[in-house]
A and B are shown apart, each in its own frame.
Chain A
Amino acid sequence: MTAKIETYQDSEKSFPSVKSILKKYNLFFIFLGFILIGSLLSDQFLSVQNILNLLQQSSFVGIVSIGMTFVILVAGIDLSVGAILALTGMLVSILLSTGMNPILAVVLTLLVGAFLGFVNGFISTKFKVPAFIATLAMMVSARGFALLTTNGEPVYDLPDSFTALGGNIFGKVPLTAVIWIVLTIIAIVVLKYTTFGRKIYAVGGNEESSRLSGIPVKKYVTWCFVICGTLAGVAGILMSAWLTVGQPTAGSGLELDVIAAVVLGGTSLAGGKGGVGGTFIGVLIMSMIINIFNLLGLSSYYQSIFMGFIIVLALIMNQYITHKK
């Protein structure tokens, strides 16, 4: 053994510098920046009602983004979430319209969401089809299927016991927002503190070394797609409840918002880096931009234009701060 004895110490307890805090939580500071801008531009921005609206509007993209984060962490991608959201939203509405028990209808629908996610994962891992293509195919087919169920017509007259899911609790707190926040917390805990979560990061960081360390990589990747499909199902169900109709065109283009939010939240498309906490902030930033535009009374065309700019700007800033020495 070499003469040098101890260079090892647990530096976890040493006090971090201001610079390193800025670096690590730069996304959060960008987020605070938007809050500041919003509150300067509009008095209503920080009102309780507006904040609740904001959370409510974010919740569908937010819930789907949790699942997408899992998939992106294992270096995958899922383009089918918007279509799965629509299909599950239609399915639950049709089941309810046949008079099925709402709990049973919801459970069945979630199983279908999970199954579709499994198909995504199975095709991309077992047959080595790139996830981009496998889920693109799923996107096209699931959307077609959603439209086919009713020939493109919405499903009306959902029972009140079901549409309550899209309503408020404790007076005016939107239930969808609560569900989103709870799911986010669960996901953070799972990723950080469970063996499953640690293995997800390992698989995303280096698939081959994980495989040689005895991790059944395909199984874990497939699980991530199952989670993503299931959460798209959750969002589909909640959206039908909130709209009080099953809408086969729901969630068009949602996958791109979701991917943007996840990446904005600091999760690397190459896998292995990031997390659900960042995604939560990423989703909120995107909703805040829309919210600020709405409060200012600017048209949605402006929103789209600026959204593109702001996503890129925020990412450039993030890159700049993270890589600055």
Chain B
Amino acid sequence: MNHILEMKRISKSFPGVKALENVDFSLEKGEVHCLIGANGAGKSTLMKVLAGVYAKDEGEILLEGQPVTIKNPFDSMALGISTIHQELSLVEELSLAENIFLGNYLKPQGGFVNWRRIHEETKKLFELLGLSVSPSMRTSEASMGVKQMVEIAKAIRSECKIIVMDEPSTALSSEEVTKLYKVIDLLKKQGYTIVYISHKLDELYAVGDRVTVLRNGQWIITDSLANLKQPELIHHITGRSIEKEEKVYKVSSREEFLRVEGFTNDKIHNVSFAVGKGEIVGLYGLVGSGRTELLRAIYGADARKAGELFLDGTKKNITSPSQAVELGMGLVPENRKTEGANLELSILDNAMLPSLHSYSKRSFVKPKKLKAAMQEAIRKLNIKASSMHVKMGTLSGGNQQKVIIAKWLIHNSKLLLFDEPTQGIDIGAKDEIYSIMKEIAHQGTSIIMATSEIEELLTVCDRVLIMFEGKLIKEFTQPAESKNDIMNIAVSG
């Protein structure tokens, strides 16, 4: 075997959690190796050990047969390992070219930067990657797909041998993902070894040669993807088999809870619809179709120019999220880290934020009542944390999302707005979140879910609304039977 990298018996503990336990991971030269596992399975930790972000407790790392020590990110880079993190590390205010050459600027003579050479070199890299944008474009104006390519260009520039991509497709359009596959293929042919981390199984099969599955910090299996069928792989990831649950549609008429009429602002145009009590309505459409904007407008987070909103038949004029929350709404926002979670606060403080006044007397909080409510929510939602006092930032994505949902459960919200609720969340936790949504709906709460995952719509929603260029263009009352129509209409309008 021609192993370019071997990680042997790697162990890593955090206070109270064993994140990795005797994990083996090896890469063959020139392969695309997928790494998969549920949230908290340890795949990020393993890659962070490799990238020098975390120091391992035990184990050894061999690079081309030689033992190496990686103490910090510089060591890792010097050894030719380049990591593209999920949160891209580009400087938004600089040009694409400057981002690629940031740090060395081609070792300028006399301290003056040779911009012409930098732009020429960037052009060459862009040609190689099939990018047709100008090197002098400001990064903040570039699409996510372009930014991802720039990160890859940066990695190539740094003369690395191994490129680790952590969920590279998360924010990309399907077109951009196809392009990414092509580039990965190209890199492979040029002899780069790639680690591809993703939650999306079809992606693994599209790009990967081999796959390693981790679960609960332990190595489960490494096998060629050609040998491993999807159900088997899912079984390895979750430790159980998932039976696709077919949604049973209740065609019974529901009492109306929310009605929106003629909602209009910069991003949405004359949107009208209604949601019944206990109903789950899906909002489907391409990125930029106005799904997020519609939810934010209903919630009062964005201003609207026209439109009326009725709750339980009464007209309400909601102009801020605090009014919306008071009226029993809750939002699970699209960007978990920047909009949903308060990473520095404990999960208790996060979950109790909207409900503080119901757990207080004369504005003094009652810690006992508070903790009891939280304990209940932790149990109900199966939140995995060593204590309710740990910082939100230490939890895995799926658990953070559950804390955000807990926030609205504790607040007894009557209408929940979910915006891409399972983005960047593994299959196991996804399923849990779906069951939670169904459970809440069953108890009479209305739900609107904006999503770009068709499977998600089909498993969860009672009804699907399609948005296109800011307009509501079609409604499906039997989503499962209309999968292809839904996708076609969402794409073509």
Contact = CB atoms under 8 A, between A and B. Distances in A.
A8 B386 CA distance: 5
B349 A201 contact: yes
B459 interface: no
B266 interface: no
B301 A199 contact: no
Interface in A273-320: 273
A202 B240 contact: no
A172 interface: no
B365 A193 contact: yes
A213 interface: yes
Nearest to B299: A212
A57 B336 CA distance: 47
Contacts of A323: none
A10 interface: yes
B383 A8 contact: yes
Nearest to A218: B320
A206 interface: yes
B330 to A, nearest CB: 8
Interface of B: 16, 216, 238-240, 299, 301, 320-322, 324-326, 331, 333, 338-345, 349, 352-354, 356-357, 360, 363-365, 371, 378-379, 382-389, 407, 428, 432, 435
A9 B387 contact: yes
A9 B15 CA distance: 13
A198 B357 CA distance: 11
Given A2-B432, A3-B239, A199-B353, A212 B345 contact: no
A285 B386 CA distance: 36
A202 B355 CA distance: 13
Contact of A206 (B321, B341, B354, B389): B341
A195 B363 CA distance: 6
A9 B387 CA distance: 5
Contact of A211 (B321, B378, B389, B407): B321
A275 to B, nearest CB: 13
* Shortest 6 CB-CB contacts between residues of A and residues of B: A214-B325, A11-B387, A195-B356, A206-B342, A205-B344, A205-B342
B345 A1 contact: no
B345 A272 contact: yes
A299 B340 CA distance: 53
Contacts of B379: 8
B388 A10 contact: yes
Interface in A197-237: 198-199, 201-202, 205-206, 208-216
B337 to A, nearest CB: 9
A207 to B, nearest CB: 10
A296 B8 CA distance: 61
15 contacts: A4-B384, A8-B384, A8-B385, A9-B387, A12-B389, A193-B364, A195-B356, A198-B356, A199-B353, A208-B339, A211-B321, A212-B299, A212-B333, A212-B339, A213-B407
Given A3-B239, A212-B339, A216-B320, 9 more contacts: A2-B382, A7-B385, A8-B378, A8-B383, A205-B343, A213-B325, A213-B353, A214-B322, A215-B353
Nearest to A217: B322
A208 B352 CA distance: 16
Given A1-B432, A193-B364, A209 B386 contact: no
A168 interface: no
A194 interface: yes
B16 A11 contact: yes
A202 B349 contact: yes
Contacts of A205: 342-345
A192 B299 CA distance: 30
Contacts of B432: 1-2
Interface string A1-24: 111100111111000000000000
A214 B324 contact: yes
A212 B411 CA distance: 14
A324 to B, nearest CB: 13
Contacts of A156: none
Nearest to B359: A195
Contact of B240 (A3, A211, A272): A3
Given A202-B342, A213-B407, A9 B386 contact: yes
B365 A198 contact: yes
Contacts of B365: 193-195, 198
